[in-house]
Amino acid sequence: MSEAITTQPPSSRVLPHELPAALRDAGLTNWIREPLDDAVDRRRRIIMPPAAATIGTPASAYQGALLAESRHPDTVFMMGDNPALPAMPERPVLKDFFMLRFSPIARTHLLQSARVARENGLDEKVIMACLVHDIAIAGLLSANHGYWGAQIVGPYVDEEVAWAIEKHEALRYFPDESVGYTYPEAYIDYFGPEYTPPEYIRREHEAARRHRWYMTSRLITINDIYSFDPNVVADFDDFEDVVGRNFRQPSEGLGFDGSPVAHMWRTMIWPNNFL
C-alpha cells in the first residue's frame, strides 16, 4: 500500500448548523437529509413537501421555515438524484418504475391484478390495463388516480386501455350484478359505511356504462377485488410479453421522449425535486 493512501488528511467534514427547534418539533426532519461523509455533497438537503401532501395538514405552516433554511450555505433543496432512492437508468422502461420506485404494496397489487386477469383468460388489453391501473397511486398521486393514471400511460397504450383505467375509478363505487361485481368491502373500511361518491363520479359512472368499452373498465374493477393475497407471488417478468406487445416503450426512455406526459414520468424518477 502506498504512503499517499495511509497518510490521507482527516476528513474536512463540517457539521451543518443547528436546525430550528420549530422544524424539529413539527416532525419535519423526515424531509431533511443530513449530509453523509461521502465527499459527494456534504450539504444538508431539504425536501420541500409537495402542496398535495401538505395542504390541510399542520406541515403547511412550515413552508416559510423550510424556505429560510436554504439561505444557509451548508443547506440546499433536493434536486436530482435523492441518495435515499435507488438510481434509475438513463433510459428507464416501465419495469424500472415498478422495481425501483413503486412501493412493495403497490407493485404487488398491480402484479396480482394482472395475474388474476391472465388466469381468467382475459384479453391482453385487459391484462395490460390491470397491470398499470393504479400506477398513479404507486408513483405519483392518489387523489383522482384513475384520471392521472390514464394520462401517465396514455401515449404508450391503446386508447381503450387508457379509457378503461380512467373510468375504473368511478366504476369501483357501483355494483354491476350482471357480472357479479359488488361494492368493495375494502371501501367500507376506507371510507365508512355511509360514504357516497360525489356527483361528478356518479355522472362518470352513468356515462361509462353506456360506452362501448364499458366492459374493459369493468373487468379492471373485477380483477382489482381479488388482488390483495399476500401469499401469491407475481413477477414483472411474467408480463414482459404482454408489455412488449401493448406498451410502446419510447427509445429515449420514459420521461425523456418529449411526450405531453414525459414530465409525469420525470416526477416519478425525481419525486423530491424542489422544482
CB of 42 to Fe ion, least distance (A): 42
Binds Fe ion by CB under 5 A, chosen from 62, 69, 97, 134: 134
The DSSP result for 205-273, as a single string, is HHHHHTSTTHHHHHHHHHHHHT---TT----GGGGHHHHHHH----TT-TTSS--TTHHHHHHHHSTT-
Question: Cα torsion at 161, 139, 197, 154 (round to 10°)?
Answer: -30
How far lies 238's CA from each of 8, 95, 131, 217, in Å?
50, 11, 11, 22
Strand locations in the chain, DSSP E? Answer: 32-33, 44-46, 75-77
Is 166 a binder of Fe ion (CB under 5 A)? Answer: no
Mark the segment that binds Fe ion (CB under 5 A) among 21-29, 38-46, 133-141, 205-213.
133-141
- Give the one residue of 112, 224, 234, 253 binding Fe ion; rule: CB under 5 A: 224
Nearer residue to Fe ion within complex by CB, 69 or 224:
224
Count of residues in contact with Fe ion, rule CB under 5 A: 2
- Which of 15-23, 128-136, 206-214, 260-268 is the region at the interface with Fe ion (rule: CB under 5 A)? 128-136
Would you say 105 or 233 has its CB closer to Fe ion? 105
Q: Which residues pair with 45 in a beta bridge?
A: 33, 76
Q: Scan residues 55-94 and list those touching Fe ion (CB under 5 A).
A: none
Q: How far apart, in whole angstroms, are the C-alpha atoms of residue 58 and residue 40?
A: 34
The one segment of 36-44, 199-207, 223-231, 254-262 that binds Fe ion by CB under 5 A: 223-231
CB proximity list for 34: less than 8 A, separation 6 or greater: 16, 44
Tell me if 265 sits within 8 A of 152, measured CB to CB: yes
> Which stretches does DSSP call E strand in 10-161?
32-33, 44-46, 75-77
CB nearer Fe ion, residue 96 or residue 134:
134
Considering only the stretches 7-15, 84-92, 114-122, 126-134, report the one whose residues sit in contact with Fe ion under the rule CB under 5 A: 126-134
Task: Work out how close the CB of 85 gets to Fe ion at its nearest, in angstroms, rounded to a whole number.
Answer: 24
Least separation in angstroms between CB 195 and Fe ion = 16
In the complex, which residues of this chain contact Fe ion (CB under 5 A)?
134, 224
